[in-house]
């Protein structure tokens, strides 16, 4: 019951956050003279006919409270608006762009967690060893490398040589899971490595430092004194306690990925939400910007709800917070 109540509070809080972001976006863009709002919503497609169509479709001549109600009603029913520049609904653009971004984020997170936690745990249990010193150097290199540099290096060092020798499994662009698991992985493996490289370095350093601190606690020494195996002491007691700050950091990082994957998407020609958002800014495509801002907020909220659930499972004390 404590866990259920905890999650209900988090979900309700997340709904309030998305509502506040949507309200702020509405007031920022709609609480202005009608002609200005209509012209910005039309963007580069603005002509007298298009502007009149925008005013008519969105009811911009109605009181602001009525417009706000229609805005919220559309959001509740999943209608994120219409792009007059591309001639597509924002929902359609989102359906096209979400799979590449979702694939990139999912694979990148899994890869950097596996690499970062594995190296961090080994480094903490073998502190000051050759492996620990080597991983420290690797972490510094990973933290100092810009994402676009890593991506370009992988294309130069991995993609081009493999294709020159007739090995075409590794490719650029996007191929979804529906076209075959092997093809999907082949198209996504380099973007995953690019996205994970810097973050794996962060999580290696974080998990190593937290585990070293945890292994120095009194209850760890007590567990060892009771004759528990070193493996059980490390993984049952040490790693579980050390993961709580790692999980908190994961919530922040995953929430920021929606806007941060644009570089990786551009380098490998994936398309995706990040790349489309940048294009929308360049073309003054306001409906897309508003829709993606709300989606980004929902993405952050969802990521943090999942992280809160994991955090509560790791540390039951947070359920009463």
pLDDT digits (tens, 9 = 90+) for 84-133: 777 788 888 888 888 888 888 888 889 888 988 888 888 888 878 888 88
Q: What is the pLDDT of residue 16?
A: 92
**CA 160 to the chain's CA centroid:** 28
pLDDT in tens, 233-254: 777 777 777 777 788 788 778 7
**Lookup: tokens for 226:** 């009771």
Q: What is the mean pLDDT of residues 285-296?
A: 83
- Asked whether the predicted pLDDT for residue 318 surpasses 60, the reply is no
β-pairing, 82-83 vs 88-89, is antiparallel
Mean pLDDT for 22-43 is 77
Q: How confident is the model at residue 20, as a pLDDT?
A: 92
Residue-averaged pLDDT of the chain:
81
Give the model's pLDDT for residue 259. 55
pLDDT at 27 over 70: yes
Beta bridge partners of 196: none
CA angle (265 as vertex; 262, 270 as ends), nearest 5: 145
Buried b (16+ CB within 10 A) or exposed e, 85-123: bbeebbeebbeebebbbebbbebbbebbbebbbebbbbb
Please give the average per-residue pLDDT across 189-215, as a whole number: 85
Query: According to DSSP H, which parts of 145-239 are helical?
Result: 147-154, 160-164, 181-215, 218-225, 230-232
pTM: 0.80
Per-residue model confidence (pLDDT) at position 258: 62
- Residue range 208-235: mean pLDDT, rounded: 79
Q: Residue 260 has what pLDDT?
A: 59
Q: Considering the chain, what percentage of its residues have pLDDT values greater than 70?
A: 93
Q: Is 272 left (phi over 0), alpha (psi -120 to 50) or beta?
A: left
> Would you call 216 exposed, middle or buried from its count of C-beta atoms within 10 A (0-12, 13-18, 19+)?
exposed
Give per-residue pLDDT as tens, 36-68.
777 767 666 667 777 777 777 777 778 888 888
Helix or strand holding residue 146 (H, E)? none
Residue 174 pLDDT more than 60?
Answer: yes
With cut-offs at 50, 70 and 90, classify the pLDDT of residue 319: low
What confidence tier does 1 reach under pLDDT thresholds 50, 70, 90?
low
Residue 321: the pLDDT is 54
Helix (H, G, I), strand (E, B) or coil at 115: helix
Our measurement of the distance from residue 120's CA atom to the centroid of its chain's CA atoms, rounded to an integer in Å, reads: 22
**Closest by alpha carbon to 321, among 1, 14, 6, 4?**
6
Q: How confident is the model at residue 209 (pLDDT cuts 50, 70, 90)?
A: confident
User: What is the length of the chain?
Assistant: 321
Going along the chain from its start, the domains and CATH numbers come out as 1-85+283-321 (no CATH), 98-281 (1.10.3720.10)
């Amino acid at each position: 019951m404590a866990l259920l109540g905890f999650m209900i509070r988090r979900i309700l809080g997340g709904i309030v956050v998305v509502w506040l972001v949507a309200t702020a976006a509405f007031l920022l863009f709609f609480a202005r003279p009608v002609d200005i709002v209509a012209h910005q919503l039309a963007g580069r497609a603005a002509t007298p006919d298009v502007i009149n169509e925008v005013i008519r479709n969105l009811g911009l001549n109605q009181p602001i409270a009525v417009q706000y109600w229609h805005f919220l009603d559309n959001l509740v029913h999943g209608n994120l608006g219409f792009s007059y520049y591309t001639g597509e609904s924002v929902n359609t653009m989102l359906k096209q762009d979400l799979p590449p971004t979702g694939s990139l984020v999912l694979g990148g997170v899994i890869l950097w967690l596996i690499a970062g936690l594995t190296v961090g745990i080994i480094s903490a249990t073998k502190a000051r060893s050759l492996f620990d010193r080597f991983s420290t150097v690797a972490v510094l290199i990973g933290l100092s490398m810009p994402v676009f540099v890593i991506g370009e290096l992988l294309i130069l060092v991995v993609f081009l040589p493999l294709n020159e020798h007739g090995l075409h499994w590794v490719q650029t662009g996007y191929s979804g899971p529906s076209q075959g698991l092997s093809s999907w992985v082949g198209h996504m493996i380099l973007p995953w490595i690019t996205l994970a490289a810097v973050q794996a370095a962060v999580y290696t350093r974080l998990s190593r430092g937290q585990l070293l601190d945890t292994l120095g606690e009194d209850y760890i020494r007590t567990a060892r004194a009771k004759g528990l195996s070193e493996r059980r002491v490390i993984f049952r007691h040490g790693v579980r306690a050390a993961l709580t700050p790692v999980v908190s950091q994961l919530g922040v990082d995953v929430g920021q990925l929606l806007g941060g994957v644009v570089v990786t998407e551009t380098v490998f020609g994936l398309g995706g939400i990040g790349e489309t958002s940048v294009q929308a800014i360049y073309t003054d495509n306001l409906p897309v910007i508003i829709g993606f801002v709300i989606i980004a907020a929902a993405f952050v909220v969802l990521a943090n709800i999942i992280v809160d659930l994991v955090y509560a499972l790791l540390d039951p004390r947070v359920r009463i917070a």
